[in-house]
Amino acid sequence: MGKGIDARDFHFAGFRLESARGTLSGPDGQDHRIRPKTFSLLVHLLENPGLLHGRQELLEAVWPGIAVTDDSLTQCISELRKAFGAQAEEILRTVPRRGYILIAEVKVHSWNLSPASPSSPATPPFSASKARDREEARHASVIVEIPDGIAQAEASGLALLSAELARYEDLRVRRAAGREHADYRVRLVDVDGGSPLVFLDEASTNTVLWSEPQARSEEAAGPIDSAREILANRIARQVAVDSRRKARNKAHHDRTARDLCLLAADHHQRATERDTLLAIELLESAVALDPDYAQARAWLAYAIQRGFTQGWGPVRGEAARDTALSMARAALILAPYSPLCLSRLAYCMMLHGKWSEAESTARMALNGPYRGGVKVRISSCEVLAHAVPGEDSIELMKAVLKLDPFCGPTVYSVLGRCLLMAGRPAEALPHLRWCATRLPDYAPCHHSLVMACVETGNMPDALLAWREIQRIQPGWDPTARTGPWFFGRPADEQRMLDAVEAVRAVKIR
């Protein structure tokens, strides 16, 4: 069996060391440049916290078999203290004439990137053909049929639809010459006296999977999305639905990394602790199967952050927040223009209070060369609602509901939060209640409900929402800054604190 890679993240005093990337970042999220030997020294100290390390021991651990002077170790210690800044005395203690002790509390999270199961085959040598096969397995392929003899206007419309579908990062649009390799086929059928029908077929079996009148997309089009964009999104959604169905029916050892991602995304949007844990397990398997699959890492970052916002997952609290940011950054390195990777990075930056970077990254996700569909728009709008509250995010979320009227309940929570952040709590309430009814364990929705109910004078419902929060997150306190309640504007943070104080005052009376 091929040997995998064990990557570890060390969290201490707000700092994070990532062994796989070879980076050290501070509480502000900024990377500190340190020399390789200084990095190795820090790893050795983090692996053995609370122990006294003599100078000779450290010299042998960092420079094995090499004769160096004490000055080399002294320079590394000085470099670490410089990186730690004002926190240096809280992290590293010098014991005169004896050595050093790393006194900070250390938490370690290990990423096992070995093959997913003992029966997995050893990793074969690299070949261009296998690399192409792996790349193809990350997408579904589609062909848009342009029949001979149709009117020029209709042919142009189908060509433009092909171009629109090609903007979806998880689709590959094939030319007519490659039709035998396509997974799905899109065709347009004229109907006497009516709007043409759009069909999506499974290419290998000629099975019709979905159809609707072309006019339906034209009716749904608004100022943000054209009819062609709406139609392309609906086709992409149906491709994902059918791909997920196929993934469910496969044996575990036959599933590709994309299959695992599709199944994990379905679990994640159900917003329960059990489903979140299942999503993380599936995504870790996807990363192990295809370490360069950026979308798997982006989804894993989004699932891990729930250890911070919800307290769900193997890693929790600030360690989950930091690990999610690290994973999101790694995903974007693999796919710099991916709207999914950009939106997940924007969300993780928001959780770190990096408002300017989060806003600009969210806008890149929305306005880049590729389309990410509804899920990308939702998380990007959530970032914008917190960073720059206003009509912009509200209109974008309303457009999402036009784009996909059947999207999950979390859409209504985000739309409610956008309205709430824009100072429209009465309009936010129906959307928040709709989500809370369908996702009773989704704490962020209940957080929003507390504020909206208090600000509209509905204290009985505010108390009910508060009880739900305490059921889901016992002892939750917004002043502890755990969870998604980070605000770009201090006034909005004060609104939340005032709402919680008002609920507590009623309970006391």
- In the prediction, which pLDDT does 191 show? 81
- For residues 322-337, give the mean pLDDT: 92
- For residues 142-162, give the mean pLDDT: 86
- Type and span of the H or E element at 9: strand 6-12
> In this structure, are strands 23-25 and 31-32 parallel, antiparallel, or unpaired?
antiparallel
The yes-or-no verdict on residue 476 having pLDDT over 90 is no
- In the prediction, which pLDDT does 120 show? 37
- For residues 370-374, give the mean pLDDT: 85
- In the prediction, which pLDDT does 508 show? 60
Tell me which of 370 and 216 has the higher pLDDT.
370
Residue type (1 letter), 466 = W
- In the prediction, which pLDDT does 464 show? 95
Ranges assigned E (strand) in 235-349: none
Q: What is the DSSP code string of 316-352?
A: -HHHHHHHHHHHHHHHHHH-TT-HHHHHHHHHHHHHT
Token pair, residue 55, equals 């100078």
- For residues 398-417, give the mean pLDDT: 87
Name the β-bridge partners of 173: 142
Instruction: Quote the pTM value.
Output: 0.72
CA distance 55 to 97: 9
**DSSP letter (8 states) at residue 100:** E
Helix runs in 137-226, H state only: 152-165, 214-220
- In the prediction, which pLDDT does 237 show? 92
The least confident of 156-165, 215-224, 237-246 is 215-224
In order of 28, 209, 341, the CA distances from 322 in angstroms are 11, 42, 16
- In the prediction, which pLDDT does 121 show? 38
Residue type (1 letter), 67 = A
Residue 61 region by backbone torsions, left for phi larger than 0, else alpha for psi between -120 and 50, else beta: alpha
> In this structure, are strands 207-213 and 197-202 parallel, antiparallel, or unpaired?
antiparallel
Name the β-bridge partners of 101: 52, 93
21 within 8 A of 29, measured Cβ to Cβ? no
The yes-or-no verdict on residue 176 having pLDDT over 80 is no
- For residues 361-381, give the mean pLDDT: 90
- In the prediction, which pLDDT does 405 show? 81
Instruction: Tell me the per-residue pLDDT of 438-474, one tens digit each, with 9 for 90 and over.
Output: 999 988 899 999 999 999 999 999 999 999 999 988 8
CA distance 74 to 89: 16
The answer for residues whose C-beta is within 8 angstroms of residue 165's C-beta and 6 or more apart is: 142, 144, 171, 173, 186, 232, 235, 236
Q: Give CB contacts under 8 A, 24+ apart, made by 464-473.
A: 465/436, 466/500, 466/503, 466/507, 468/436, 468/440, 468/443, 469/443, 472/310, 472/441, 472/443, 472/446, 473/310, 473/311, 473/443
Instruction: Tell me the per-residue pLDDT of 240-287, one tens digit each, with 9 for 90 and over.
Output: 999 999 999 988 889 999 999 999 999 998 888 999 999 999 999 999
**Closest among 265, 309, 270 to 283, alpha carbons compared:** 265
- Type and span of the H or E element at 7: strand 6-12
Quick one: pLDDT band at residue 60, thresholds 50, 70, 90?
confident
* Buried-state track 23-40, b at ≥16 Cβ within 10 A, e below 16: bbbbeebeebebeebbbb
